[in-house]
Structure 1
């Protein structure tokens, strides 16, 4: 039965039940439970169905959010999933990890005064219901084209492109240096935000759909770009960015000062059942340690919340700007605070102290000064404000930069920008090498999973256009001769 919409003046916003901080800090299970059908329909009915859907405008994927909210409110969930999945390769993942407070929900027109529609939670509910009912299918082309595309990188951009191209009939081969598909969705995002079974469920579907995965392959060593160009009609590079940004302070080389990705990957591998070396288990765990995390993005939030769950003696986050100017999700900050993390806002490390192993962090207070070129206020040191924090483990969570792909891939002719990202044509996604495309963070720079999905889908369209144009040109040339 159809349900009335625009119920935001009558029905209050209600998120799915959230486990208590005390309970969730003891394990790595997801912190939110799912909606039950009546809750999902009720919350979806709060949508105002506005004439200009700012939720959709501010979604990188331009998801048709008002449409699938309406269908959910009316109980038409199979149709809701069809609409949701038409623009999004991974709605079940975006519903869990997208910073909705900065994107769709943060721009909901009823946010001010009535609180936004719980878009992310409804999106997750729709897709989980679709999986339960068998509505989610492996990519199945209407016909095989007899053409192939090689994709380097099994992260969200590469997988989104693989699914889109496979659905069009291409034979798809995905090459990745790791042992599991998913990129940072597998080795970077903790289970309490994204359970790994959710990612691996999609991986299995893609394999069932005929996408071929070649794991543990190092491009440049095991196979070259030139060889991939010979094997395939086009190649797409979607490696992401994995090189951790460094901080230049005394003591950065001490034992116990580690990279965020090393710390998070070790934790994810343990939960996947991998056998880590004893040295890594000891060095990359927060158990019984005083932990200091440097940074204010979502990766820093992942590190502080993982440290809590590993049984750290204390967890402190140092960030050089204030809470209002931090790049990470405000929901993540709230969750971390509930779980016992201490935030030292407007603080920056001056040195890591210790002999061979870190023992403390000397930090200094900051104030916000004049805006920098990006418009954000620049942090300025407050003279004489030094303070010291005890630390057995320091985690550097300062963001990621691209690896040197021309060197890594042994392809020196591959052009890069001054930031180290791959240089591509803004419209065609093609690099300076004919038939080699690039998409995702390796072009955009470190960004969100949802942007990687968007880039991968857009790149797939351009790869398809390039191959078809080449075939047409060859046919016309043959006819003319």
Structure 2
């Protein structure tokens, strides 16, 4: 019976949730995709072929049991579908919104490879969990037994929060230290509302608070509280700070006013969405309204910046990237959404100089793709004589992020780092060079995806419980 409900991909075409009209959505920060109706979600889930070897599952960093919850959705058994989804993913409603499914689960869907169009996995995942919240199926965290041991978590991004969730379910006492005034890390202040509305993040934070997780906000470790003090207060510590140091431009004039960091621009915008007072937004420093905006970079952060600038009322928005469309690191789906909203992409182009203070003009070097480097990617090379000028009132640097020097900032020389500056941690246990100290997410991997941070956080929590049980302590000592 269950099998007959599936394999509908032959005669049921792929149908994504309706997108709001770009002329309307480009003026607000609400999510652009509408929700599936019950019948449509079941219909699209029924397209799954229930593969014997599900590549969607194996290409998901969390190894979510995707075929199982698709089948349950097709059968109308949504509460069970949510239970299966939540079993492997701490934040399925967030992954359903911001994971690059086109590069992960959906990009490896077998029926996509056969030309029938992928199953809309992300949209169904989002629908299942949104329904679970609406129906009250998302239960408070209530450990079977409370433990006396405590863990301090530095950073409240996806890795830190995923670990906090798992540790509390094991009965461990958890305190999260966050330098911002709200928890959530990049999910709160780095990702715009049109991709992830903030009440979605805040409801998970509240669930953790209601479950006994203590949050210490506005706490910059190394300044407001020492790392050694946190270690002394807790039985184990998890480093989940993420990476926030922006890669800088070194071209002439790059220090002019009007050239800003992507993280500052996005944080200011998100704070305004919360209704906060943001002086740098009000005085125009981090506000694109009425300006000619140039965003430099080709990743997902660059896509967030160009689409935010459009919504703030920029007169024009251009994205300058040194490679071509096929070789950009950002999601192709996001590029398409940005183009619909009025963003212009300038491919095979790189900045060479900036004129004016505040900035008024950017000299652009036209590029071509040369021979592949050691990673296999073609190296951009300048085209001789290919220089021209772009006018700009606001330039946003979206060149990627690098780790801060934590041993120096925290005064802990014995915390080992890699040659890239990331914290050195075992990829199986997530243990660092310091006994009882673990690290997860971007501070270990470098700038990566939310879903990888969630996986790291869950794995580290399991290892930390072993450590607290005593087996890990013996090995560490």
CA distance in 2, matches of 1:262, 1:225: 26
The residue that corresponds to 2:362 in the other structure is 361
The residue that corresponds to 1:453 in the other structure is 454
Q: Displacement, 1:430?
A: 1.5
CA distance in 1, matches of 2:139, 2:398: 37
CA distance in 2, matches of 1:428, 1:106: 29
Q: Displacement, 1:281?
A: 4.2
CA distance in 1, matches of 2:437, 2:131: 38
CA distance in 1, matches of 2:408, 2:471: 30
Matches for 1:230-241 after TM superposition, within 5 Å: 230-241=232-243
Q: Displacement, 1:280?
A: 5.7
The residue that corresponds to 1:479 in the other structure is none
Matched residues, number: 473
The residue that corresponds to 2:215 in the other structure is 213
The residue that corresponds to 1:346 in the other structure is 348
Q: Displacement, 1:470?
A: 4.8
Structure 2 residue 319 is the aligned partner of structure 1 residue 326 = no
- Report Cα offsets for 1:139-191 as digits up to 9, x if no partner: 22110011111110000000000000110110011111111110000011000
1:114 aligned counterpart, secondary structure = coil
CA distance in 1, matches of 2:434, 2:93: 35
CA distance in 1, matches of 2:413, 2:281: 36
The residue that corresponds to 1:250 in the other structure is 252
- Report Cα offsets for 1:303-327 as digits up to 9, x if no partner: 0000111110100000000000000
Residues 279 and 198 (structure 1), Cα distance of their counterparts in 2 relative to 1, 3 Å cut = closer
1:136 aligned counterpart, secondary structure = coil
Residues 139 and 279 (structure 1), Cα distance of their counterparts in 2 relative to 1, 3 Å cut = closer
Matches for 1:406-421 after TM superposition, within 5 Å: 406-421=407-422
8 Å contact from structure 1 (residues 177, 216) kept in 2:
yes
Q: Displacement, 1:368?
A: 0.6
CA RMSD of aligned residues (A): 1.4
Q: Which moved more, 1:391-400 or 1:220-229?
A: 220-229
Structure 2 residue 107 is the aligned partner of structure 1 residue 106 = yes
1:120 aligned counterpart, secondary structure = helix
2:110 aligned counterpart, secondary structure = coil
- Report Cα offsets for 1:444-479 as digits up to 9, x if no partner: 1100000100111111111111111259969xxxxx
Question: What TM-score do the two structures reach when normalised by structure 2?
Answer: 0.97
The runs of at least 4 consecutive aligned structure 1 residues that moved more than 6 Å come to none
2:238 aligned counterpart, secondary structure = strand
CA distance in 1, matches of 2:79, 2:250: 53
Residues 364 and 37 (structure 1), Cα distance of their counterparts in 2 relative to 1, 3 Å cut = same
The residue that corresponds to 1:194 in the other structure is 196
Residues 472 and 458 (structure 1), Cα distance of their counterparts in 2 relative to 1, 3 Å cut = closer
Structure 1 unaligned regions, length at least 5: 475-481
CA distance in 2, matches of 1:148, 1:158: 14
Q: Displacement, 1:4?
A: 1.3
Residues 187 and 281 (structure 1), Cα distance of their counterparts in 2 relative to 1, 3 Å cut = farther
1:186 aligned counterpart, secondary structure = helix
Q: Which moved more, 1:187-196 or 1:401-410?
A: 401-410
- Report Cα offsets for 1:221-252 as digits up to 9, x if no partner: 22222222221110000000000011211111
The residue that corresponds to 2:131 in the other structure is 129
The residue that corresponds to 2:266 in the other structure is 264
The residue that corresponds to 1:46 in the other structure is 47
CA distance in 1, matches of 2:447, 2:8: 38
CA distance in 2, matches of 1:216, 1:15: 40
8 Å contact from structure 2 (residues 303, 338) kept in 1:
yes
Q: Displacement, 1:102?
A: 0.6
8 Å contact from structure 2 (residues 466, 472) kept in 1:
no
The residue that corresponds to 2:279 in the other structure is 277
- Report Cα offsets for 1:30-52 as digits up to 9, x if no partner: 00000010000000000010111
The residue that corresponds to 1:116 in the other structure is 118
CA distance in 1, matches of 2:227, 2:140: 29
The residue that corresponds to 2:289 in the other structure is 287
8 Å contact from structure 1 (residues 266, 281) kept in 2:
no
The residue that corresponds to 1:227 in the other structure is 229
CA distance in 2, matches of 1:278, 1:442: 28
2:44 aligned counterpart, secondary structure = helix
Q: Displacement, 1:425?
A: 2.4
CA distance in 2, matches of 1:425, 1:126: 34
